[in-house]
Chains A and B, each alone.
Chain A
Amino acid sequence: MEKLISKLTEKHILFTASFVIRLALVAYGDYQDRTMAVKYTDIDYHVFTDAARFITEGESPYNRSTYRYTPLLAWLLTPNIYLNMVFGKILFIVCDVLSGLLIYKVLCLRGLRAETARCVSSLWLLNPLPMGVSSRGNAESILAALVLGTLLCMERRAQRLTWAALLYGLSVHMKIYPVTYALPIALTLRTAEIRVDEAKKVSRFKKLVGFFVGFFNQDLLLFASVAGGVFFTLTGLFYYMYGWQFLYETYLYHLTRRDIRHNFSPYFYMLYLTAESTWSQWLGLAAFLPQFALLLVTSWMYYKDLAFCCFLHTAIFVTFNKVCTSQYFLWYLCLLPLVIPNLSLTVKQGLGLLLLWFAGQAIWLGPAYFLEFEGYNTFLWIWLAGLLFQVVNCFILIQIVTHYKPTKTPLRLKAE
């Protein structure tokens, strides 16, 4: 009994402490904004608040230049105008702590002991990076909570499939990148082909037909209709309210985005130099193909471990994307705690990879600073640093893939 109480207390301490620390950061941020020249609050938060203000005045949130999100976010933040501007930040830190709770629950369902699960969840709950991001007013934690919620419901899909579909549809509406999870989810929900005797020869054609027919089962059709229903209802509603500009700013801009300004992507300089040339479209396609091919391969190889598959999907999507900013890293970092318990890396190796990742970013940030704030022409160095960062990311992903031991039994790992 005492042990149980102490466990509960510990759990409550962890979640309470992580919320209190974030709240303190929000309070500090407010102080810094009022007293210092360098502001704590991110520019994005002002964009959200301005868009929410337009909504309270009965106008379109897209009147705010650079607002490229769903109107739902601006609607959620209207209390910023009616109550207090800090409301949005409170919402984001609540979602952040909720993400930590969802990580804990998923880990427990994947077979970890509660104590170990709490330890691993603290990698997110007590991590300064998500703390800083949410308290500065970025909305990434909402999406992290939605994606983790989808994964949690998928772990319990016998009872929670509709909820999984609902959360998934909502997450795709908010940001496009979770759409890549559609294939592994479909592969998970389909009726797997029955394993036949090796001796019995089944024609390739029959196998192929069997494969496709497997996609038409009740679970998958239910998931597709609920997720699709949520997505298209919201899209239809906002299209009716805000027209073409909603579609363009929320989705098309991100799909066709070619930021020629410097960013972490290895393609940035190539796209900048060829922005006006006739080769531009073909190069865009050439950049898209490796990303697309890798996502297909990942889906097929790892769909049986959905959490790991989604982590790899997002990490690959971000690493091979035509535009990459540090905000994108949170998309896969929120899934990393789900993967860590299954890694056979030592703590030293893990920390080494983490340092390597930070070093890759630092090597890029150096020339980027000199370009933007000192006016030196460091384009070539930024390009090379971007390539190096991509190699570092791939190396880390290869290490993770090589040292991953799935929890589900019985599974054979194809050893080297």
Chain B
Amino acid sequence: MYFKLFYVVSALSLFSKCLCLGEKDEIQNHCDLLRQWLAPSSVRVELNKKGFHREVTTTVEFRSKELSSVKVLLIHRWPRDVYVDPYQLASLSDQNDWKILLDSAIDLEVPAHKASGFVTYVYPFSTGPTSKLFKVTIPIHGRYHKPSFDGKMLKSVDIEVPELLLRSEKCAQLSSLEPHTVVDAPCTASNSSTCSWVKVKPQQDLNPVSFQLPVGDGSLVAHVCGGTLLVTMICCVALSKYMWKHQVI
């Protein structure tokens, strides 16, 4: 009888081992697929429009086949020379196939030297079952800068290439994906929890995209002040003179 029990127990344990191995295999599959996604993919940043109102378009193309459980995250680190309008982003949100999260409140009016840089987390979602291309266009606006005193009429603003991060809900053992870096970031745009993400190494070192913003000419300050006050004084005196002459008694 004990022999029978022994055979049943070993059969059961063998069976459960197989099951566990099967689950482990599945996890390993997901992690392997995630590793495939980490293979060098291209990240392209383009700048559109001119002047103080621009559009930054980030295009990401993956080499691997689509896997529905993989989530993508783009982290843009913006300089203080620009800002995004959260209200504009909210009004555009239903037209976009991505969601955005800002790391801090944005002051829309303050000049650049009084502002600070900020971070945006963009969560694109796939538009179809076979898509491996993500395109995100973020409208940005230039801030006013301090006037220049060295004759330079334009100030350069650099926009860094965003970081590309991935995670899979079904692959929790991100340590198996070394040497890729693991980073903590909000899981979704609703910012209700933090997840571990894997950072994708860029194909090649990409230079930041840059554009230029006009700045005032500080060397003209005396002329501008003098000219402005002179004209306004003349207007003030002329108007007073005519009002005095034609007053209603």
Interface stretch (choices B16-24, B58-66, B130-138, B228-236): B228-236
A297 → B minimal CB distance (Å): 5
Residue B1 at the chain A interface, CB threshold 8 Å: no
B44: Cβ under 8 A from any A Cβ: no
Chain A hits for B108, CB < 8 A? 65-66
Q: How far, in angstroms, from A65 to B86 measured CA to CA in the complex?
A: 10
Q: How many residues of B contact A (CB 8 A)?
A: 49
B88 CB, nearest partner CB in chain A, Å: 9
Question: Residue A10 at the B interface, CB < 8 A?
Answer: no
Interface residues of B in 219-246 (CB under 8 A from A): 220-221, 224-225, 227-229, 231-233, 235-236, 238-240, 242-246
Q: For A341, what are the chain B residues with a Cβ–Cβ distance below 8 Å?
A: none
User: Which residue of the partner chain, among A46, A272, A383, A414, contacts B247 with CB atoms under 8 Å?
Assistant: A414
**B153: which A residues are within 8 A, CB to CB?**
377
- CB contacts (< 8 Å) of B216 on chain A: these are 269, 272-273, 379
Binds A, one of B48-56, B72-80, B96-104: B48-56
A376 CA to B154 CA, complexed, in Å? 9
What B residues does A398 contact at CB under 8 A? 238-239, 242
Give A308-362 interface residues, CB cut-off 8 Å to B: 308, 312, 316, 319-320
* CB-CB under 8 A for A375 and B231, given A297-B240, A301-B243, A402-B242: no
- B240 A293 Cβ-Cβ under 8 A: yes
CA–CA, A270 and B229, complex, Å: 9
A272 to B224 CA separation, bound complex (whole angstroms): 10
Contact residue among A270, A319, A376, A404 (Cβ-Cβ distance under 8 Å from B246) = A404
Residues of B within 8 A of A379 (CB): 214, 216-217
**Closest Cβ–Cβ distance, residue A283 to chain B (whole Å):** 7
Complex interface bits, B81-114 against A, C-beta within 8 A gives 1, otherwise 0 = 0000001000100000000000001111101010
Q: Is the interface of A mostly helix, strand, loop or mixed?
A: helix
- Is the CB–CB distance between B236 and A414 below 8 Å? no
Does B5 sit at the interface, judged by CB under 8 A? no
> A413: CB under 8 A from chain B?
yes
- State which of A275, A375, A383, A412 has its C-beta within 8 Å of the C-beta of B214: A375
Q: Are B214 and A376 in contact (CB under 8 A)?
A: yes
Tell yes or no: A11 within 8 A of B by CB: no
Q: How far is the CB of B149 from chain A (nearest CB, A)?
A: 10
* Interchain Cβ contacts within 8 Å, total number: 148
> Which residues of the partner chain A approach B109 to less than 8 Å between Cβ atoms?
66, 261
- The listed residue (A267, A294, A374) touching B240 by CB distance below 8 A is A294
B224–A373 touching, CB < 8 Å: no
- Contact status A373-B232, CB under 8 Å: no
Is A297's CB under 8 angstroms from B243's CB? Answer: yes
Alpha-carbon separation in the docked complex, A373 to B53 (Å): 7
When C-beta atoms are compared, the residue in chain B nearest to A64 turns out to be B87
Known A267-B228, A270-B224, A371-B51; contact A294-B236, beta-carbon cutoff 8 A = yes
Question: Could you pull out 21 A-B pairs where Cβ atoms are within 8 angstroms?
Answer: A46-B87, A46-B91, A65-B87, A66-B108, A272-B147, A273-B225, A274-B225, A275-B146, A286-B229, A294-B236, A373-B50, A373-B51, A375-B50, A375-B213, A380-B217, A380-B220, A383-B224, A398-B239, A401-B246, A413-B248, A414-B245
Chain B residues close to A by CB (< 8 Å): 50-53, 87, 91, 105-109, 111, 113, 144, 146-147, 153-154, 211-218, 220-221, 224-225, 227-229, 231-233, 235-236, 238-240, 242-249
Can you add 12 more A-B contacts, CB < 8 Å, to A276-B113, A401-B242?
Answer: A260-B111, A261-B109, A273-B224, A290-B235, A297-B243, A371-B51, A374-B51, A390-B232, A391-B231, A401-B239, A402-B242, A414-B247
